[in-house]
A and B are shown apart, each in its own frame.
Chain A
Amino acid sequence: MKTKTIKLHVWRQSGPNDAGRFETYTAENVTEHMSFLEMLDDLNEKLIADGKDPIAFDHDCREGICGMCSMVINGYAHGPDERTTTCQIHMRHIFDRGWDEVWIEPWRATSFPIRKDLIVDRTALDKIIQAGGYISIRTGSARDANEAPIPKPIADRAFDAATCIGCGACVAACPNASASLFTAAKVGHLALLPQGQAERMSRVKSMVATMDELGFGGCTNHGECEKACPKGISIDFIASMNRDLLKSLVVDRGDAEAPDEGG
């Protein structure tokens, strides 16, 4: 079993108002079978034993589906492997790259204020969902599977968008800290399905307006988000969202006066 000593430069910030700085640590006896987060757990045990403040980082499921973990590792959001979250990175992936020194930073965006160390507040993404990422009609009990016919390719595309776990890596990787891929995925999966049609135009307007209000940057088509996305969601969804938004400005009648259904 391969064991290594890794030098870590970790962003430490005691709270939202602290300026923050990098601190250097040495992680010893790191095995290739440890996950990246286990390596940090191990380091934190040592820090606690030494009476120091452990490194705060977000994590939950540790199997790539919850969207909690969030770190920029040596310049890669969620680490260097494609279509993986931070928690799915193992130290052998780091060893394979020959990295003895690793820089760990939080997502950096005005709309994601840092709470502590590597933990950022991603409430902004919830606010975009609250602005329209749902269907407000009462759907009743579960219907027969084939009652609403949806072609397989459309269902697949909708699912591709729906795989978004809301981790915010798209924002982190975007040179403009834009939430376009996240918003496009949430707009997109509903826009493709029959249930989403009734509110399709008002939804895209409301979600885009909210995304802009929250201070995210605009999309300038770099494509970084798509590559950083642990689910590999395509920027084609951004183009589709753009088309729907532009269409909504032309064809959507009287939406501005429409009362809020309130859900």
Chain B
Amino acid sequence: MATKALTLYDTTIGKKAVMAASGIILLGFTLGHLSGNLKAYAGPTEFNEYARWLRTMPALLWGARLALIFAFSAHIFSAFSLWKRNKSARPNRYQKKVDLATDYAAKTMYLSGPILLFYVLFHLVHLTFGGQLFGDGTIFGIEGYTWEPSNPYNNLVHGFQHWPIVIPYVLGNLALGVHLFHGIWSMFQSIGANHPRYNQYRRDLAIMLAALLTIGNLSFPIAVMAGYLEPTTLRFNFPELL
């Protein structure tokens, strides 16, 4: 049989493998991100120390950022390319079509994906570049929400006292949960990680991780609004965070 010289990116399967691999990187980041942020429950000093510690290794920080940007781009680019192909594979839709196996999460990946993209941009503008973008002024013009450069803890807690921050955060994290519910299961299938003995656990793992991340992330605004996490009056001086 005549075979073609294929590269990974030539085939639809290769693109899905790229999506799976970049998805694993992004999933790893979200897990690390959550576990770091749980320091908020340990107290303002611990949280701020952790934030400072992250900035003490610029090479590692930028290495991770570049890897994430690369993974994000690869994920979006592959998704877009597959989306275009899949659209053109069936231009005329059915008058009637019944879903037998697919679920809400799988059908809305092209919706939860872009929501996540916009959410991540919002989240970066808010908490990563907030200081540089808004100076010492009010974040997004929200009255009473001023930036404290050396105090990420207060920037977090104060933020969740305002609905314009809470609403996109909640929506973004719900989209994350839905996206991961399909994405994590799907990645096993895409890279061909299947075995009759373990297949049943793929869905369980997807549910577990999606729930863990969604509940964990949503715990922050809930804790702030319930008054469990309160702004600190402590003052910090971390030049690394400026």
Q: Tell me, yes or no, whether B17 is within 8 Å of chain A by CB.
A: yes
CA gap between A195 and B189 in the complex, in Å = 26
Give the residue of B97, B109, B192 whose beta carbon is less than 8 angstroms from that of A75: B97
Considering the complex, give the chain B residue whose CB is closest to the CB of A72.
B94
Q: Contact at B1–A203, with CB atoms within 8 Å?
A: yes
Contact partner of B86 (CB less than 8 A), chosen from A136, A217, A238, A260, is A217
Question: Residue on A with the closest CB to B89?
Answer: A217
Contact B90 A223 (CB under 8 A): no
A32 interface contact, C-beta 8 A: no
Beta-carbon nearest neighbor of A243 in chain B:
B192
Cα of A176 to Cα of B102 in the assembled complex, Å: 12
Inter-subunit contact A221/B186 (CB<8 Å) = yes
* Interface residue count on the B side (C-beta < 8 Å): 49
CA distance A178 to B11 in the complex (A): 13
Secondary structure of the A contact surface, majority rule: mixed
Bound CA span A238–B185, Å: 14
- Interface-located stretch among A45-53, A85-93, A204-212: A204-212
Interface string of A222-260 (1 = CB under 8 A from B): 111011100000011011111111101100100110101
Give the segment of B128-136, B193-201, B215-223 that binds chain A: B193-201
Question: A202 contacts B1, CB within 8 Å?
Answer: yes
Q: Bound complex: CA of A99 vs CA of B163, how far in Å?
A: 49
Q: Which of A74, A208, A220 has the most CB of B within 10 A?
A: A220
Bound form: Cα–Cα A178–B15 in Å:
14
When C-beta atoms are compared, the residue in chain B nearest to A179 turns out to be B89
B1-A228 in contact (CB<8A): no
A117 at the interface (CB under 8 A from B): no
A54 on the B face (CB < 8 A) = no
The stretch of A23-31, A57-65, A101-109, A141-149 that contacts the partner chain? A101-109
Q: Does A96 belong to the interface (CB within 8 Å)? A: no
Chain B residue contacts of A182, Cβ below 8 A:
none
Do B192 and A246 touch (CB < 8 A)?
A: yes
Chain B residues lying within 8 Å of A249, measured Cβ to Cβ, are 6-8, 14
- In order of increasing CB-CB distance, the 5 nearest A-B pairs are A243-B192, A218-B12, A217-B89, A256-B5, A223-B101
